[in-house]
Amino acid sequence: MRVFLIFALFILGATFADAQAPRPVLLEACNDAPFAIGVSAVFHNDPTDNQVVRGWFQVEPGECLEGGLGDIVGNDLGLGAVSGEWRWPMQDQGDEQYCMPAQTYFGRARSDGCDDVERLIDFQRVSISPYRSGWGRVQIRYSCEDFDAADAALCSQTATGRDGLAVPVNSLEVCNTWNVDAEIAAGASADFVGFEVSGWTRIPATLCRVVYRGFPAGGEVWFTARRADNHYAPASHEGQLCVAEGQFMASGARGALVNAGQCPANASIRLPAQRVRFGPHVAQYQAYVPRMEESR
């Protein structure tokens, strides 16, 4: 028994020593998304508590990138990937966050005090597997299928900019300044010809909700707001939107649903509506319900 304990302690001691000894690590990152992604890694390069972060490694769509990260101490490292508004890991699912600039970077990992050209990026911890001749290896695959169904569909439809990275998904957030709950219906065109409108998103008094996410043609989104208690919709100088009662989704020619002379049967109610235009490179727009007369 004593011999076995001594042998076991020797093995544990050797394993601990090996984990603390720097070793070269190979990163293999594959990209199944329809746009290029940037991958970054955070790791220990000495036995101290300090970590360094290295990025970005651009991985083209449908390809894998293989390269050495340098000498790493420990049995795991953190990985994060970004393209436009898409993030791996997803929001609130990362293990840690670090400040990262947009350009290629190698330096000390910091989780606070980000400057104006940096933003906090989520990282997930990934185990380092043994590899040839004392090397370690990390393999990871990024895909639109990593997201929930709605986001996976948007991700697969995402176009690319001149740099090959994903263009921003446009999100319209509406804030309710009334003292009663509001209901919001929103719609947009994907091709300047057709139009799709759906509703209703209920927003409690003083709160905000995202009512639209997608890729609107020309960056244009329409929304109408009404009181939840009596369905009164304040006037708007922008135009009118055809909607329906209850939870609905209506599609058709743009002219049949926006500023139509007569609304179609599947969206027969015409309400005052506001138009929002997203500028280039704008991901999120915050709008407010139109002003309501005090007597209502």
Report pLDDT digits (tens) over 27-46. Answer: 999 999 999 999 999 999 98
Secondary structure of residue 134 in the 3-state scheme:
helix
Together in a domain, 176 and 146: no
Range of the domain at 190: 170-288
Final residue belonging to a domain, choices 157, 191, 224: 157
pLDDT at 6: 35
The tally of CA atoms less than 13 A away on the side-chain side of residue 194 is 6
Together in a domain, 39 and 145: yes
200 part of a folded domain = yes
pLDDT at 287: 97
pTM equals 0.81
pLDDT at 294: 58
pLDDT at 20: 66
**CA dihedral of 121, 41, 31, 149, whole degrees rounded to 10:** -40
269 part of a folded domain = yes
Together in a domain, 40 and 150: yes
Rounded CA separation 233/225 (Å): 6
Final residue belonging to a domain, choices 130, 157, 184: 157
Together in a domain, 62 and 177: no
| Angle formed at CA 198 by CA 87 and CA 275, multiple of 5 degrees | 80
164 part of a folded domain = no
Together in a domain, 33 and 150: yes
Rounded CA separation 39/43 (Å): 14
pLDDT at 7: 33
230 part of a folded domain = yes
Per-residue DSSP letters for 184-232?
Answer: EEEEE-SSSSEEEEEEEEEE-TT-EEEEEEE--GGGEEEEEEEETTT--
Together in a domain, 143 and 177: no
Together in a domain, 110 and 192: no
pLDDT tens series, the chain, 296 aa = 333 333 333 334 444 445 568 999 999 999 999 999 999 999 999 888 889 999 999 999 999 999 999 999 999 999 999 999 899 998 778 899 999 998 999 999 999 889 889 999 999 999 999 998 889 999 999 999 999 999 999 999 999 999 999 999 999 999 999 999 999 999 999 999 999 999 999 999 999 999 999 999 999 999 999 999 999 999 998 999 999 999 999 999 999 999 999 999 999 999 999 999 999 889 999 999 998 775 56
pLDDT at 296: 62
The tally of CA atoms less than 13 A away on the side-chain side of residue 231 is 9
266 part of a folded domain = yes
